[in-house]
Structure 1
Amino acid sequence: MSLRAVELFGGAGGLAIGTHKAGFSSELFVEWDKWACDTVRENSRAGHPLVKDWAVHQGDVRKVDYSTLRQKIDLVAGGPPCQPFSMGGKARAADDSRDMFPAAAEVVRNLRPRALLFENVRGLKRAAFANYFEFIKLRMKFPELSAHVNESWTDHYARLQKEYTSSGSNSLLSYNVVDHLVNAADYGVPQHRHRVFIVGFRNDVKADWSFPEATHSEDALLQSQWISGEYWEEHKIAKKNRPEIDPRKMNRVNKIRNGEIEVAGHRWRTVRDALSGMPEPKTNGFRGWKNHKLQEGAKSYPGHTGSPLDQPSKALKAGGHGVPGGENMLRRVDGSVRYFSIREAARIQTFPDDYELHGSWGEAMRQLGNAVPVKLAEAVASSIATHLNLATIETEETKFVR
């Protein structure tokens, strides 16, 4: 069946592309940043099959007229700005004007979707934010309990707690909400990217859902590299050109070899996997490759050593004061470094090769650094879609029997 989604804080489109690939149609895509909107709009104008029908709204999610959406919405999804919770930011949470979780809950209240999906940095689960994180989840659970005028978040939190611990009103809109911390590498993304997902199903949807299990593992990568050697054979890397094994991994490799550790799933995908088949970027770019130009000036120094070629990359970052060096650089086996091209970074974020990022190198890298990896978004959204479809069938069959 057709499933309809609204995307908030859409950025360059990573989460929305993932939900689209999972079977949701994007009824509305909301993003305030001009360059990110340009990226989506230009790909739409070019007829990109994943985004060509999107309705892009550039502006504040709090100022959108959602009453124009005539059909019922199955999913509200989005990645509210992470700066209020980022370990690299000022970590002011509710005191940061960029905290958009309450605004997201208001959209849920307006649209009453059957499910919700929000993503943010793992810093959201820091001990310093423990109470506020619980507030966010209760705010999503009871979206109709909006804040009173001039009410502090702590007073609002107290009201939500009372509702949660009382018998509640049968007429009150509520969601069954869970959260889950993941590493994107465990879902086939060639990048260490730890993120928190908040997923909820409306209380009349019997979804019987849990977060999808990991499909990829470090143990499978270690086995492929240091026991079977399949990884090196696949990439046609001679022994003299292979890196030394990390001594910290030797004990685990021996346990895998001796059968003390059972290896499951596919191997983690590495930077080398992600860039397979791509030419080395040049300053003038390459015909037939979008966004694949060499950015000069990469330097290695303590704390900024780049991503090793034969591991998942470090988490790409947007950077509040320009793009940081270490996270967005490739480190070759010989220790030399260069910046990832925009196209290479897009591959690491699992965007399609024919999806073009707009803006300068720094601007495009900022968009990618803020994005949800498409493959991770698709894995989570596919699981939600499956359960929504099953829940709908069960509801219809129950009505039919009655």
Structure 2
Amino acid sequence: MAWDDEPTDLATEPLVASRIPSTHPLHQPWQLTATERERYRLMAQRSREQSRRAAAGELDRLHEVNVPALDTRDLMPREEPNGLRALSLYSGGGGLDVSFERAGFEHVASYEILEHAAETLARNRPEWEVHGGADGDVHGVKWKDWRGKVDVLHGGPPCQPFSNAGRQQGHLDPRDCWPATVKAIRAIQPIAFVAENVPALASAKFTDYVRDVIVEPLERSRPRYYMHRVLLEAKDFGVPQVRKRVAFVGFRSKKAYDAFRKPAPTHAWNDPDSDLPRTMGVREALGLAQMEEHPDRLAPTIRSGLTGPRFTTSICNSTSAAKSWAALGLWPNGVAVTREAASAFPTDTGAFRLSVADVALIQGFPPTWTWPSAVYQAVGQIGNAVPPPLGWAVAMAVTAALSAS
């Protein structure tokens, strides 16, 4: 059975509980039938055998090592220093940190509770002040110590409480860090802040939550903050992926708030009438030949999340996404550590195996940004990150608004 085959006659088949013990208290196992579970078991079994054979050099390469056509640094030109200092919360693998750095901000410090993500930041920027592990927990920081030292605070509070994959439990989810974010803003009193999340947070389901937890506390604070809420799509900034984010952008100054403009698209996807540069399809971006049977398209949204019963190197987040990856001739399961390793480990369907560097490119990270962690940790960091070109556009819009005020 091929990995993307559809199981048959499942409508009346009962669901069967997973026999794999969960290693994370917040993990919620998939609800699958016995047929579906057997399908995934066989897939994992076949993958282990292929991995063994690849390591032994028993397999022939199906693909040469790819040379990407897209250099994501071109999507976010490095600006001259703008004199503004930025503090990063929930830094993860560095999506917003990279964005603001390339937009000309001085990096003050990063706070990240996951030690392997903090290690990514420290390895890439040894000169940065990085607080990781227990020291990176935003709940234990005396934020007033940063007052007067920070111009812009940015970060992405964990999105699982509001995402479909996280079951959208909002304030009932212990990972909800918006109250801690608001507390940090009120204590530090930056002249501006950027806080991003999944688009669902801006939906009707969370209207009361946004009003009670985010908007009103900051509107009533001293100083008061005036906020914009903007919905952005990664493809509008040259990123070859379907991905939407919502950003809350706040200013202490009413003049800066009035001067702020939602970032205008820098690129256009599949629009021959646009004068903007063209967003590449994902195969073109990766430097792969086009497929005769399917036109190039954007990659599905890369799976974001590091919780689960076992370490996964898959970036596929749904059955529909699996179909899209298959139509692209790309293999989203079993991401390889390097492009060379991916080439040496062919898939049994002939699909192109992705590497960590390829996944980072699809998310918009610069090619010079490296990932020292295990593969499952690296792809988890990448999938949880803000696409840097999208973050860069927001950072540039904030700079423009502050300059106008």
Normalised to the residue count of structure 2, the TM-score between the two structures is 0.66
Deviation at 1:324, TM superposition (A): 4.4
Listed one character per residue, the Cα deviations across residues 48-80 of structure 1 (whole Å, up to 9, x for unaligned) are xxxx33443442112113344364321110000
Counterpart mapping for 1:70-219 below 5 A: 71-139=148-216, 141-142=218-219, 144=221, 172-203=222-253, 205-207=255-257, 208-219=259-270
Deviation at 1:362, TM superposition (A): 1.3
**For residues 248 and 231 of structure 2, what CA distance do their matches in structure 1 show?**
9
Instruction: Determine whether 1:379 maps to 2:369.
Output: no
SS at match of 2:125: helix
> Structure 1 pair 269/109, CA: closer, same or farther in 2 (3 Å)?
same
Instruction: Determine whether 1:316 maps to 2:391.
Output: no
**For residues 143 and 371 of structure 2, what CA distance do their matches in structure 1 show?**
28
**For residues 177 and 349 of structure 1, what CA distance do their matches in structure 2 show?**
27
Deviation at 1:265, TM superposition (A): 2.1
Instruction: Determine whether 1:22 maps to 2:103.
Output: yes
> Structure 1 pair 334/19, CA: closer, same or farther in 2 (3 Å)?
closer
Deviation at 1:101, TM superposition (A): 0.7
Question: Structure 2 unaligned runs (5+)?
Answer: 1-81, 331-349
Instruction: Report percent identity of matched pairs.
Output: 31
Residue of structure 2 equivalent to 1:32: 113
**For residues 381 and 325 of structure 1, what CA distance do their matches in structure 2 show?**
27
Question: What amino acid is the match of 2:207?
Answer: A
Deviation at 1:359, TM superposition (A): 1.7
**Contact residue 313 and residue 375 of structure 2 kept, 8 A:** no
**Contact residue 4 and residue 75 of structure 1 kept, 8 A:** yes
> Structure 1 pair 309/135, CA: closer, same or farther in 2 (3 Å)?
farther
**Contact residue 10 and residue 78 of structure 1 kept, 8 A:** yes
Question: What amino acid is the match of 1:315?
Answer: T
**For residues 8 and 331 of structure 1, what CA distance do their matches in structure 2 show?**
36
Question: What amino acid is the match of 2:354?
Answer: F
Deviation at 1:119, TM superposition (A): 0.6
**Contact residue 84 and residue 105 of structure 2 kept, 8 A:** yes
Deviation at 1:218, TM superposition (A): 2.8
**For residues 326 and 109 of structure 1, what CA distance do their matches in structure 2 show?**
38
> Structure 1 pair 70/362, CA: closer, same or farther in 2 (3 Å)?
same
> Structure 1 pair 54/374, CA: closer, same or farther in 2 (3 Å)?
farther
**Contact residue 109 and residue 143 of structure 1 kept, 8 A:** no
**For residues 7 and 140 of structure 1, what CA distance do their matches in structure 2 show?**
21
Residue of structure 2 equivalent to 1:42: 123
Deviation at 1:272, TM superposition (A): 2.4
**For residues 35 and 334 of structure 1, what CA distance do their matches in structure 2 show?**
31
**For residues 383 and 141 of structure 1, what CA distance do their matches in structure 2 show?**
21
Question: What amino acid is the match of 2:252?
Answer: R
Listed one character per residue, the Cα deviations across residues 336-363 of structure 1 (whole Å, up to 9, x for unaligned) are 4344210001111121212111222111
**Contact residue 19 and residue 377 of structure 1 kept, 8 A:** yes
SS at match of 2:256: coil
Question: What amino acid is the match of 2:194?
Answer: L
Aligned residues: 289
**For residues 367 and 84 of structure 1, what CA distance do their matches in structure 2 show?**
17
> Structure 1 pair 217/366, CA: closer, same or farther in 2 (3 Å)?
same
**For residues 354 and 199 of structure 1, what CA distance do their matches in structure 2 show?**
29
SS at match of 1:216: coil
**Contact residue 178 and residue 199 of structure 1 kept, 8 A:** yes
**Contact residue 75 and residue 114 of structure 1 kept, 8 A:** yes
> Structure 1 pair 340/55, CA: closer, same or farther in 2 (3 Å)?
same
Question: Structure 1 unaligned runs (5+)?
Answer: 46-51, 145-171, 224-261, 280-307, 392-402
Deviation at 1:205, TM superposition (A): 4.8
**Contact residue 105 and residue 143 of structure 1 kept, 8 A:** no
> Structure 1 pair 13/332, CA: closer, same or farther in 2 (3 Å)?
same
Deviation at 1:199, TM superposition (A): 0.5
Question: What amino acid is the match of 2:100?
Answer: T
**For residues 295 and 175 of structure 2, what CA distance do their matches in structure 1 show?**
35
SS at match of 1:180: strand
Residue of structure 1 equivalent to 2:286: 275
> Structure 1 pair 64/31, CA: closer, same or farther in 2 (3 Å)?
same
**For residues 217 and 235 of structure 2, what CA distance do their matches in structure 1 show?**
28
Which segment is superposed worse, 110-119 or 195-204? 195-204
**For residues 254 and 356 of structure 2, what CA distance do their matches in structure 1 show?**
44
**Contact residue 309 and residue 331 of structure 1 kept, 8 A:** no
> Structure 1 pair 334/179, CA: closer, same or farther in 2 (3 Å)?
closer
**For residues 108 and 328 of structure 2, what CA distance do their matches in structure 1 show?**
46
**For residues 362 and 178 of structure 2, what CA distance do their matches in structure 1 show?**
27
**For residues 78 and 143 of structure 1, what CA distance do their matches in structure 2 show?**
21
**Contact residue 201 and residue 210 of structure 2 kept, 8 A:** yes
Question: What amino acid is the match of 2:196?
Answer: E
**Contact residue 109 and residue 128 of structure 2 kept, 8 A:** no
**For residues 113 and 324 of structure 1, what CA distance do their matches in structure 2 show?**
38
> Structure 1 pair 109/333, CA: closer, same or farther in 2 (3 Å)?
closer
**2:316 corresponds to which of 326, 339, 346:** 326
SS at match of 1:215: coil
Residue of structure 1 equivalent to 2:47: none
Normalised to the residue count of structure 1, the TM-score between the two structures is 0.66
